[in-house]
Amino acid sequence: MSDEREIELLAGVPDGLFIDGVWRAAADGATLDVVDPATGDVVKTIASASVADGVAALDAADAAFPAWAATPARERAEILRRAFDLLQERKEDFALLMTIEMGKPLAEARGEVAYGGEFLRWFSEEAVRANGRYGANPEGTGRMIVTQHPVGPCFLITPWNFPLAMATRKIAPALAAGCTVVIKPAALTPLTTLAFAKLLEDAGLPAGVVNVVTTASSGPMSDAIIADPRLRKLSFTGSTPVGVSLLEKAAKGVLRTSMELGGNAPFIVFDDADLDKAVDGAIAAKFRNIGQACTAANRFIVHRAVADEFARRVTERVESFRAGRGTEEGVVIGPLIDDKAVAKTGQLVADAVERGATLRTGGAEIDRPGSFFAATVLSDVRPGSEILREEIFGPVLAIVPFDDEDDAVRIANDTEYGLVSYVYTESLSRGQRMIERLQTGMMGLNVGVVSNAAAPFGGWKMSGLGREGGAEGIHEYLQTKYTLTANPFA
C-alpha cells in the first residue's frame, strides 16, 4: 500500500458484519480478503457471513420493520438528508476507498460520490410525497381510498462496478418508503458499503433498519434469505444470468423484485451528427469506469460515410489516455476488476479480429502489476462477432458501419438486452423517430451519459424489471391498498 492516508482510511473502515446495529465477526469466524486490482495487494480482511449470519440479519430487519414503518416520513427523510450531508463531508474518503477497492480513477470516483449522494437527497424529498388518493366510485355508491404501505423487509444485492451508487440507489428509496433492509455487496468491493453503513449509523439510523452482510459465499446465504417467508422484496443489480436464477428463486415466495441487469448499448452516429460532439459522447459512454458500466456503449453503429473519420478521431483520443493506478494524476485507464476480466476482454478482441475487424489501437493487456487492458479501438467489426452479442465490460470501442436508418435500427435492436441507447443526429425528426423505434429503457440523444437520481433508471427485455430513481423509484418499495367505504351521504 502506497501512503499513510490510505492506511489510515482503510483502518477506519469497519471489518465486521453490521447486524442489528452491532459490528461483529461472522458466527463461524470466516473472513474474506479485499484486493486492490491495480496492485494485486490485499488491502483489508473482513468478516465473511455464513448462512446463519444472513438469517440473523433478516431477523434484525424483520424486528426493526414495524417501528421504522411507523416512523413519520419526515423523520425518515431527515435521516436520509443527514446521510447526504455527511457524505459531502466524507466525499474524499469515499472516493479514495472506491479507487482502492475497485480501481476507477479518482476523478470518476468523486463523480460517483456526487451521483450516489443524490439518491439520498432525492429520496429524502420523495419520502414525504408517497401519497395515495381518495375519490368516488363511478356508481357514486361509495368512496375509494388508495393508500401506500412499505412492502416489508428487503434484500438488496449490489455489484462491484459502482460500489456506492448501487447501494444508495436501493437503500435510499427503501428507507424513504419505510422498509428495512439486508444488503449484500459484491465480495470484490465490500468496503464502501461497510463505510456507508457506518455513515448511516452516524446519521442516527436506528439499529436493524440497515444490516450489511459481506460474504465470500453469496449463493447459500442469499438462498436462505430469499427462501425465508419474512422477506418481501428482492432488489438485485448485476449480470442477467444471476438475475434470472434469483428471479426463479424469488418466484417461490412471490416476492416483489427489481432487477437491474446487463446491457449491450448501441451508440448510433448518423451522417448528419455533429462529429465533435459524437466523439466526446463516445469517449464518455465507452471509457467511463474503464468500460465496466451496464450503461457502457457496447456497439458503435456509425454511418458508413463518417465511419472512417469517426474511427480516426476516437483512436487519436484513445491513444492519449494514460493507464495506471486510479490515484495517479491524469489516469483514465485504471485496472479492470480482476484477471478474469482481462482475459475475457482479450478473447472478445481476438474473436473480432479473427472475423475481420481492423485493430486501430490497443488490443492487449498491459504488462504491469494488476489487471490492466489497453484502451482499444476496433473498426469494421463483422456481424456474428461475439463482441456484438456480449457485454464487453472493458475499454474496447467496437465500430460497425451501417448504410441507412432502417439498417441502424435493425442492428441496434438485434440484442436480447434493452437498457440504454445513444443516438447522435442533428435532425429533430430523426431523433424523434429513434425515440419511438429503439427497444430501450433509456436513451441519450446527443449525450453520452444519462444517469441521474431524478430519472427512472432501468431496462427493457433481458436488461431488467422495475425502475430505480425518479418519481418511480420509491414505488418499488411500496405496496398499494385499496379500501371501499360507503357513500357518507347515503
Q: Is 260 in the site for ligand NAP (CB under 6 A)?
A: yes
Nearer to ligand NAP by Cβ, of 67 and 343: the residue is 343
Options 62-70, 109-117, 215-223, 315-323: segment touching ligand NAP (CB under 6 A): 215-223
Nearest CA to 166 out of 264, 294, 265 is that of 294
Nearest CA to 466 out of 181, 170, 171, 126 is that of 170
CB of 101 to ligand NAP, least distance (A): 13
As a whole number of angstroms, the distance between CA 369 and CA 37 comes to 9
Nearer to ligand NAP by Cβ, of 161 and 345: the residue is 161
Q: Is 237 in the site for ligand NAP (CB under 6 A)?
A: yes
Q: Which helix (H) or strand (E) holds 434?
A: helix 428-437
- Window 390 to 419, contacts with ligand NAP (CB under 6 A): 391, 419
Q: Is 186 in the site for ligand NAP (CB under 6 A)?
A: yes
Find the catalytic residue in 101, 108, 179, 294. 294
Nearer to ligand NAP by Cβ, of 124 and 237: the residue is 237
Nearest CA to 465 out of 240, 188, 258, 185 is that of 258
Task: Pull the grid cell for residue 167.
Answer: 447501494
CB of 305 to ligand NAP, least distance (A): 32
**Residue of 150, 262, 324, 470 interacting with ligand NAP (CB under 6 A):** 262
CB of 186 to ligand NAP, least distance (A): 4
In sequence order, the 6+-apart residues with CB closer than 8 A to the CB of 286 are: 267, 296, 297, 300, 395, 397
State the angle between helix axes of 91-102 and 73-89 in degrees (0 to 180), rounded to the nearest 10.
70
Distance between first and last Cα of the chain: 77
As a dihedral over the C-alpha atoms of residue 154, residue 480, residue 70, residue 174, rounded to 10 degrees, the angle is 30
As a whole number of angstroms, the distance between CA 271 and CA 426 comes to 9
Q: Is 161 in the site for ligand NAP (CB under 6 A)?
A: yes
Could you give the 3-state DSSP secondary structure of residue 234? Answer: strand
Q: Is 159 in the site for ligand NAP (CB under 6 A)?
A: yes
Options 217-225, 281-289, 344-352, 405-413: segment touching ligand NAP (CB under 6 A): 217-225
Nearer to ligand NAP by Cβ, of 162 and 300: the residue is 162
Q: Is 158 in the site for ligand NAP (CB under 6 A)?
A: yes
Nearer to ligand NAP by Cβ, of 362 and 459: the residue is 459
Nearest CA to 285 out of 446, 486, 406 is that of 446
Q: Is 464 in the site for ligand NAP (CB under 6 A)?
A: yes
- In angstroms, the Cα distances linking 342 to 36, 160, 291, 328, 391 are 15, 16, 12, 21, 14
Nearer to ligand NAP by Cβ, of 242 and 411: the residue is 242
Q: What track of x and - describes contact with ligand NAP for positions 265 through 304 (by CB under 6 A)?
A: -----------------------------x----------
DSSP state of 438: S
In sequence order, the 6+-apart residues with CB closer than 8 A to the CB of 298 are: 263, 264, 265, 266, 267, 387, 388, 391, 392, 398
Find the catalytic residue in 118, 260, 391, 468. 260
Q: Is 239 in the site for ligand NAP (CB under 6 A)?
A: yes
Gyration radius from the chain CA atoms: 23
As a whole number of angstroms, the distance between CA 25 and CA 191 comes to 15
CB of 396 to ligand NAP, least distance (A): 15
CB of 288 to ligand NAP, least distance (A): 12
As a whole number of angstroms, the distance between CA 132 and CA 148 comes to 6
**Residue of 111, 263, 334, 470 interacting with ligand NAP (CB under 6 A):** 263
CB of 476 to ligand NAP, least distance (A): 13
Q: Is 118 in the site for ligand NAP (CB under 6 A)?
A: no
Whether the CB-CB separation of 226 and 234 falls below 8 Å is answered with: yes
Options 123-131, 256-264, 366-374, 395-403: segment touching ligand NAP (CB under 6 A): 256-264
As a whole number of angstroms, the distance between CA 193 and CA 283 comes to 29
294 is known as an active-site residue:
yes
Nearest CA to 158 out of 217, 243, 88 is that of 243
Nearer to ligand NAP by Cβ, of 165 and 269: the residue is 165
**Residue of 261, 336, 396, 399 interacting with ligand NAP (CB under 6 A):** 261
CB of 458 to ligand NAP, least distance (A): 7
> Active-site residue numbers?
260, 294
Binding site for ligand NAP (CB under 6 A): 157-162, 166, 184, 186-187, 218-219, 222, 237-239, 242, 260-263, 294, 391, 419, 459, 464
